[in-house]
Structure 1
Amino acid sequence: MKANRLALLALVVSPAWAIVPPEYQDPSNPFSAEVEMGLQLTTGNTVANSFNGRTKVIYDTLNAKQEGNFRAYFASDSEKITAQQYQLQFQSDRKFADGDYLYGRGDLTWDEFGSFTRQYIFSTGYGFDVLQNSRSKLSFEAGPGYRLSLPQVSADVPKPEDEREVIARGAAKFEHKLQEYTTFNADLVSEVGEKNTVTTLDLSYKNLFFKDWALKVGLFIKHNRVVPEGSKNTDTITTVNLLYTFQ
């Protein structure tokens, strides 16, 4: 009787074992997203305390990667709106072996209170990983691009015209896992043109405290070498946000 039971058990288990082997793992999900919002402190052309939000979407496969970012900054006092800025960034990568890739990118900024109310930047180029391991990743990007900027209205130029120029773009992206639940990111980008050079530094510190929830502290610095009369060259935005990750 015991032998019969063992034979029956083997007959039932064998097909399942053949269909789902013990080393089987679910395929990784190429889609991920982050949503964050919180308090901000803005200095430079805009001085205010308010709220901000950001949404990041990534679709990462073996041969390609698509990434989009949308950020919104808004502030007002008892009388009027004091800050209103929107940023849309998207990048498409075509991957090759050893971490190399070709990219196409767009950076669109609308800022009613900045030195430039509009800045549209489109670029393409080549990227490669310098360092990549379980804790750190460092990559560089370089290539040509095109920039359109609309200066802020001033007393000397009440109706400014668009500034259009070809640029050279260089970027360095660094990510480091300090601990199991703590990550530091630093992105440095410089876009050099004959009329102006725009440099941005995006720093963030993220600490995961419960499942997919994290606390994120960020510092965004943008510097324009040439600005309209009466505007400041450097804008900074400091944020403390609550972040949720979809995976």
Structure 2
Amino acid sequence: MKQFLPAALPLVLVAIPAQAGQLIHQPVVQDIPAEPEPPEPLVLILPDYVYPPPFIPVEPPRLPRNVRAMIEAAIRTDDSNTVAAVVKMAIETQPYDKDEIRSMHRAFLDQKAEALAAKTEAELQRIRSSGVLDLWTGKVELGAFRGTGNTSNFGVTGSLKLNRKGIDWEHTVLASADYQKDSGSITREQYGASYQPRYTLSDDIFTFGRLQYEKDEIQGYRDRYSLSVGFGYRVLQRRDLSLSLEGGPAVRRTRFVAQPSETTWTTLTSIDFDWKINGALKFTEDASSYVGSDNSTFTSLTGIEAGMAKGLKARLSYSIEHETSPPDGSVKTDTISRFALVYGF
């Protein structure tokens, strides 16, 4: 007997034992679980897209307070080298804040530049409004000396140096005297004076004039006048170191003790060197030469100054004067060692 089942149900034949050795085939319906339904789709609700995107201001990272305090403390010292060193250290330790650190450094440098410009302008205005007797500075030197050459003795020495420096012009006046009297007779009597104006053409180049007077009867001349003009060059011009060279033609008028007076043309060269070794010690060298066809004069004055008190210094100097053709009875070279006290004003 056949029985039809719906097509959707699978047909399974199961053998069932029958009585009396008969085999009966009977269909059995087996339940099969249905497939699970798919999940509902995920719906994401977003706001409408805004164009252009909005700008949200955010403050930059702030420099740590301790680093800022360290930089501000360095700025209060008003020392550029100290500030530069602290800024360099701060940038190395806080590289992400380098812009803010550099901004603080730049503000300090700008303030320094403005203060220097204001100070310079005030100084220029003071110089422009000054009178002829204003702006003069000077120093007085008094001491003792020991001489060798034409004489060998001890004596007294003194000098006065005045200097006036303007915007373009600089004036220098120098006077000196060495005097010694032994057993009622004068064994040394040397006097000198000079006036030298300078006019600045550029930072390095200047013109100059020099009028010089000398008197040294022991050396063989009663009076000697020298007049020269020329150009100068500032090789070094720093706060603690300066070197300038000068050169030009010169005319000399000499009145000798035992010979007729004469006038000669020569060439002048000179060196002016100053070195401030430290706040209390200074080295100076002033050398000049008058080179002529008949006679040449070479001089050198080397000195070292040491500060003792405000405006007061101790000075040790050694001078050499050499004449290639001195008057009869005079030696070619004179040397003087001096120890003096110098007062500046």
> What TM-score results when the alignment is normalised by the length of structure 1?
0.84
State the Cα distance separating 1:93 from its structure 2 match: 0.5
- In structure 2, what residue type is equivalent to 1:200? T
More strand by share: 1
Supply the RMSD in Å over aligned alpha carbons. 1.7
State the Cα distance separating 1:78 from its structure 2 match: 2.0
Matches within 5 A, 1:59-74: 59-74=164-179
Aligned to 2:334: 235
Q: Are the aligned partners of 1:115 and 1:233 in contact in 2 as well (CA < 8 Å)?
A: no
State the Cα distance separating 1:96 from its structure 2 match: 1.7
Aligned to 1:223: 322
- From 291, 295, 299, the equivalent of 1:200 is 299
- From 139, 144, 147, the equivalent of 1:34 is 139
Aligned residue pairs: how many? Answer: 219
What secondary structure is seen at the aligned counterpart in 1 of 2:260? Answer: coil
* Structure 1 unpaired stretches of 5+: 1-21, 154-159
What secondary structure is seen at the aligned counterpart in 1 of 2:203? Answer: helix
Instruction: Tell me, in whole angstroms, the C-alpha distance in 2 between the residues paired with 1:221 and 1:152.
Output: 22
Matches within 5 A, 1:1-150: 23=115, 25=119, 27=123, 30-150=135-255
- From 286, 305, 310, the equivalent of 1:187 is 286
- In structure 2, what residue type is equivalent to 1:52? T
State the Cα distance separating 1:242 from its structure 2 match: 0.5
Q: Are the aligned partners of 2:159 and 2:176 in contact in 1 as well (CA < 8 Å)?
A: yes
- In structure 1, what residue type is equivalent to 2:314? L
Q: Are the aligned partners of 2:199 and 2:206 in contact in 1 as well (CA < 8 Å)?
A: yes
User: Which structure has the larger Rg?
Assistant: 2
Q: Percent identity?
A: 26
* Structure 2 unpaired stretches of 5+: 1-113, 128-134
Runs of 4+ deviating beyond 3 Å: 22-30
- List per-residue Cα deviations over 1:77-133 (Å, max 9, x = no partner): 123111111100110011121131111101110112113332211100000101121
- List per-residue Cα deviations over 1:138-159 (Å, max 9, x = no partner): 1110100101123333xxxxxx
More helix by share: 2
Aligned to 2:27: none
> What TM-score results when the alignment is normalised by the length of structure 2?
0.61
Q: Are the aligned partners of 1:93 and 1:104 in contact in 2 as well (CA < 8 Å)?
A: yes
Instruction: Tell me, in whole angstroms, the C-alpha distance in 1 between the residues paired with 2:226 and 2:321.
Output: 14
Instruction: Tell me, in whole angstroms, the C-alpha distance in 2 between the residues paired with 1:163 and 1:184.
Output: 37
What secondary structure is seen at the aligned counterpart in 2 of 1:98? Answer: coil
What secondary structure is seen at the aligned counterpart in 1 of 2:228? Answer: strand
State the Cα distance separating 1:224 from its structure 2 match: 0.5
What secondary structure is seen at the aligned counterpart in 2 of 1:196? Answer: coil
Instruction: Tell me, in whole angstroms, the C-alpha distance in 2 between the residues paired with 1:141 and 1:79.
Output: 42
Instruction: Tell me, in whole angstroms, the C-alpha distance in 1 between the residues paired with 2:231 and 2:332.
Output: 29
Greater RCO (Cα-Cα under 8 Å, separation 6 or more): 1
